[in-house]
Amino acid sequence: MLVRINETYDEVSKEGARLVAELVRRKPNCVLGFATGSTPLGMYKELIRMHKQEGLDFSKVTTFNLDEYVGLPPEHDQSYHYFMWENLFKRINVNQRFVYIPMGMAADVEQFCEWYEAQIVKAGGIDLQILGIGANGHIAFNEPGSSLGSRTRIKTLTGSTREANARFFTNQDQVPKYAITMGVGTIMDAKTLLLLASGEGKAAAIQATCEGPITAMWPATIVQMHRQATVIVDKPAASKLTLKY
Ligand code: F6R
């Protein structure tokens, strides 16, 4: 695991975008795994800038998102479909036919999850998976206690995650209780992982991820087992690390 500590969130975003852009230039038909949430927003802004000013070409890229709330239609302004189109996809030249995001309205969730896994395999696997991290150590919506071998499935969100995400809804009761999420095992199958974190609120989770024992109680700790994982953090998120990086 390569741990990169930057001064600021802006630098985290730029370094992340540089790594994604390098891959897109090297392999124009690569498969990218995307995350939602506040953390990757700066990186997405930088990718949009690179597309507009430097001609970074996403036309052949296939994308898979980590997760989606169950029960929210794609046009709901808190759905992860909406988030991805608003914050990235409609501002770059991604081909809609190559965009995959879990369907929160799927009639048969189990069947959908199997289909989603099959599409990842059919696309040749994910070349680079972008990850954020929850303050409780979740990756995607794999909450503490998730099987480290899990695949795409429905998960119940913990109270702390629903509380953290309540800021995007009018009140906490409106935060969906369930999500479809890639499993920890699905994420670990990606050829490269790029985990970003910013702010002191993530410091304990980052310390556990980089230095703690591997445990399902901090799902992100499994990243230690990945052969090609890069963790990019700012100073506040790195503040509880004890080793020198
Ligand atoms: C989102 C996702 C989540 C977030 C995590 C951090 O697709 O998979 O695991 O990455 O909850 O969210 P932020 O970045 O908002 O702190």
Q: How far is CA 35 from CA 63, 107, 141, 171, in A?
A: 10, 23, 10, 23
Q: 156 CA to middle of ligand 1, Å?
A: 15
> What pLDDT does residue 244 have?
81
> What pLDDT does residue 69 have?
97
> What pLDDT does residue 120 have?
98
Pocket lining: 37 vs ligand 1, CB cutoff 6 Å: yes
Provide, rounded to the nearest whole percent, the portion of the chain with pLDDT above 70: 100
Q: 133 CA to middle of ligand 1, Å?
A: 5
Active site annotation includes 57? no
> What pLDDT does residue 171 have?
86
Mean pLDDT of the chain: 97
Token readout for 124 is 């040749």
The tens digit of pLDDT for each residue in 77-133 reads 999 999 999 999 999 999 999 999 999 999 999 999 999 999 999 999 999 999 999
Active site annotation includes 67? yes
The tens digit of pLDDT for each residue in 162-202 reads 998 899 899 889 999 999 999 999 999 999 999 999 999 99
CB count in 10 Å sphere of residue 63: 21
> What pLDDT does residue 47 have?
98
Beta bridge partners of 231: 3, 195
The CATH fold of domain 2-134+143-234: Rossmann fold (3.40.50)
The residue count of the chain comes to 245
SS3 state at 85? helix
Domain boundaries along the sequence of the chain: 2-134+143-234
Token readout for 233 is 């953090």
Among residues 59, 79, 60, the alpha carbon closest in space to that of 69 is found at 79
